């Protein structure tokens, strides 16, 4: 069965050497006292929980899955899940990045994101339960009334209650303007929510005392489309009292009609939820539910990228261990393990190609995701309004990229890890095929990767004539100017500068074509997002290579960590970045080859 050990050394490299987290947090009054000693302690304990408590229940989560009682609607989680939750709650992990006013520990998002990576490496299915709870907390923290915050936030922060978000309906997924769930006002100021929601992660389970559903629905006089959507908080049990002393009272009229039988993430209860006149309360303003829910959705999109990062890391660890142990054939350059009848498959060039591909995407995805988390901390906590706005603008560009680029690469990497195992990878007992199945959903939920691509190009880039993108690119231009003179950095800086110029040019070309035909945006968007993902990744790898070089990574006697980091950077620029040449061609191919074929001929 797979094993997992927290990658603390590389996490510390990204946090403290690449992103200079200590200095960054010192500029944020809310986090100025959070030093490296505290961060290291938190991550070490988190890694221990993930490897010793959570990872051992992952297999049962996949094999046994969740069990649904069709009469009561109750869902029993897999063996060990409840026990792991109890330990998670007792240790205070749900409160890690939450507001101290509601019982949280107040640590920055960048630490919560690092912990989230480890949770998902250990068990993505289990990690979804606290992940959705964090999203519900964030939404109510931003948009809930004072009474709602006092009632729900302490319980969500403590882990006694959990949360969900209920958007999708049988007839509408991405197009939420079509949703039909109704909200009828009641005399006491509450509402009666009626409708069916599908694909509701963590919709019903036995981990917590109560489940707090955030539900999109329409008021009777609501305008059509997305402008007529309101947001409601609909608990499984109606709360009695407020704050830490609140209890779960009478059962509400909400029930899991069934759980979905899925390709992967079997340990998470993905439910069809029936709301039959359930009592709910309006969150925020009427008909303004979608902007409120986007607090949760954007956080979830960043979280989904981290889900795939977690899967890449654990798949890599196990594929490397297998490649070092599995003996098959001899090296093409001569015997390497004379004491064995065959050499370990790690000697073979293509096995190394697969492993280095996984490693390069994993390490750059960690850097990209934590860069995004650092920007989130700036947006939430920086004392300067312009700094907060700049961070928000950068996150607008980065959120769809973190979601789509990392999850696309995550599926590629888990497939490659399975391939390293050969036939054994296809057999369930080795655990690798679970990672492939689990990784596949990440490209779909929280907005498919195609939708992320349309959002990036159509709304985030062309929507303001590229202003946000140019602002995000400024640090890249400064890096090129600062280090372009170094001969030992030429192999990294020159390709970065070249790609940046080509991205600027192709962006202008697409913008011009889209003025005459909006389909040009849809035709180019997926390739375009991948280009932007590579641009960010090349920038991060160039920065990481600089650090490695300055720490002796190019010297035979240099520290092993930096030599490995430099070698992986060189692999990325030599083997993965050249994909951009094809992406530029296909992004320029236009809409005609896609849209001219009549529908009847498909």
Kindly list the catalytic residues.
446
- As beta bridge partners, residue 183 has 193
What does the alpha-carbon distance between residue 108 and residue 130 come to, in Å, rounded to a whole number? 17
356 neighbors 568 (Cβ within 8 angstroms): yes
What does the alpha-carbon distance between residue 300 and residue 311 come to, in Å, rounded to a whole number? 16
- As beta bridge partners, residue 193 has 183, 278
What does the alpha-carbon distance between residue 578 and residue 574 come to, in Å, rounded to a whole number? 7
Residues 6+ apart with CB under 8 A from 134: 94, 97, 112, 163, 299, 303
Helix (H, G, I), strand (E, B) or coil at 439: helix
Helix (H, G, I), strand (E, B) or coil at 97: coil
Tell me the two tokens of residue 437. 């199945």
CA 16 vs CA 21, 34, 350, 456: distances in Å: 5, 13, 33, 29
What does the alpha-carbon distance between residue 485 and residue 474 come to, in Å, rounded to a whole number? 18
> Which phi-psi region, left, alpha or beta, contains residue 220 (left: φ > 0; alpha: ψ -120 to 50)?
alpha
Place of tokens 């049988």: 170
Residues 6+ apart with CB under 8 A from 529: 400, 401, 404, 405, 449, 452, 453, 456, 457
DSSP secondary structure letters along 444-460: TSSS-HHHHHHIIIIII
Of the candidates 467, 473, 443, the one whose C-alpha atom is nearest the C-alpha of residue 539 is 473
Helix (H, G, I), strand (E, B) or coil at 23: helix
Tell me the two tokens of residue 468. 């946000």
């Amino acid at each position: 069965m797979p094993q997992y050990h927290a990658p603390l050394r590389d996490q510390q490299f990204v946090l403290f050497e690449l992103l200079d987290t200590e200095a960054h947090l010192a500029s944020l009054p809310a986090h100025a006292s959070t030093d490296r000693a505290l961060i290291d302690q938190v991550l070490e304990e988190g890694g221990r929980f993930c490897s010793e408590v959570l990872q051992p229940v992952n297999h049962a989560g996949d094999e046994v899955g969740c069990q649904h009682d069709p009469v009561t609607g109750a869902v029993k989680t897999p063996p060990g899940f409840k026990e792991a939750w109890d330990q998670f709650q007792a240790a205070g992990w749900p409160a890690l990045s939450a507001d101290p006013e509601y019982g949280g520990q107040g640590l920055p998002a960048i630490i919560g994101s690092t912990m989230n990576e480890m949770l998902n490496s250990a068990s993505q299915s289990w990690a979804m339960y606290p992940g959705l709870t964090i999203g519900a907390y964030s939404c109510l923290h931003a948009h809930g009334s004072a009474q709602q915050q006092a009632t729900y936030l302490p319980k969500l922060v403590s882990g006694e209650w959990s949360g969900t978000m209920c958007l999708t309906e049988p007839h509408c997924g991405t197009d939420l303007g079509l949703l039909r769930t109704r909200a009828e006002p009641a005399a006491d100021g509450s509402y009666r929510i009626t409708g069916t929601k599908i694909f509701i992660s963590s919709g019903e389970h036995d981990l917590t005392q109560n489940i707090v559903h955030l539900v999109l629905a329409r008021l009777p006089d609501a305008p059509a489309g997305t402008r007529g959507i309101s947001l409601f908080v609909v608990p499984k049990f109606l709360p009695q009292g407020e704050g830490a002393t609140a209890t779960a009272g009478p059962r509400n009229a909400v029930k899991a009609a069934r759980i979905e039988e899925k390709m992967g993430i079997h340990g998470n209860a993905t439910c069809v939820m029936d709301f039959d006149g359930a009592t709910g309360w309006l969150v925020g303003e009427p008909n303004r539910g979608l902007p409120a829910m986007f607090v949760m959705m954007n956080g979830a999109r960043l979280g989904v990228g981290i889900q795939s990062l977690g899967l890449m890391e654990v798949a890599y660890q196990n594929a490397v261990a297998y490649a070092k142990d599995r003996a098959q054939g001899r090296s093409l350059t001569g015997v390497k393990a004379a004491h064995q009848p065959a050499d370990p498959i790690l000697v073979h060039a293509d096995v190394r190609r697969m492993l280095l591909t996984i490693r390069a995407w994993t390490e750059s995805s960690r850097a990209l995701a934590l860069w995004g988390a650092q920007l989130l901390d700036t947006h939430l906590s920086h004392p300067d309004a312009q700094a907060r706005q700049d961070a928000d603008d950068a996150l607008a560009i980065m959120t769809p990229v973190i979601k789509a680029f990392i999850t696309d690469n995550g599926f590629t990497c888990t497939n490659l890890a399975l391939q390293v195992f050969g036939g054994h990878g296809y057999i369930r007992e080795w655990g690798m095929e679970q990672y492939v199945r689990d990784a596949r959903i990440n490209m779909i939920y929280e907005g498919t990767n195609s939708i992320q691509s349309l959002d990036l190009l159509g709304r985030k880039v062309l929507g303001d004539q590229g202003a946000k993108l140019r602002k995000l690119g400024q640090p890249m231009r400064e890096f090129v100017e600062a280090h372009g003179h170094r001969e030992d950095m030429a192999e990294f800086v020159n390709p970065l500068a070249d790609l940046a110029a080509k991205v600027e040019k192709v962006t202008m070309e697409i913008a011009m074509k889209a003025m005459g035909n909006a389909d040009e945006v849809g035709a180019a968007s997926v390739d375009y997002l991948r280009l932007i993902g590579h641009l960010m990744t090349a920038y991060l790898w160039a920065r990481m290579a600089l650090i490695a070089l300055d720490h002796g990574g190019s010297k035979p006697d240099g520290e092993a960590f930096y030599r490995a980091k430099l070698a992986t950077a060189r692999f990325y620029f030599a083997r993965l970045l050249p994909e951009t040449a094809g992406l530029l061609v296909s992004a320029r191919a236009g809409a005609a080859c896609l849209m001219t074929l009549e529908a009847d001929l498909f």
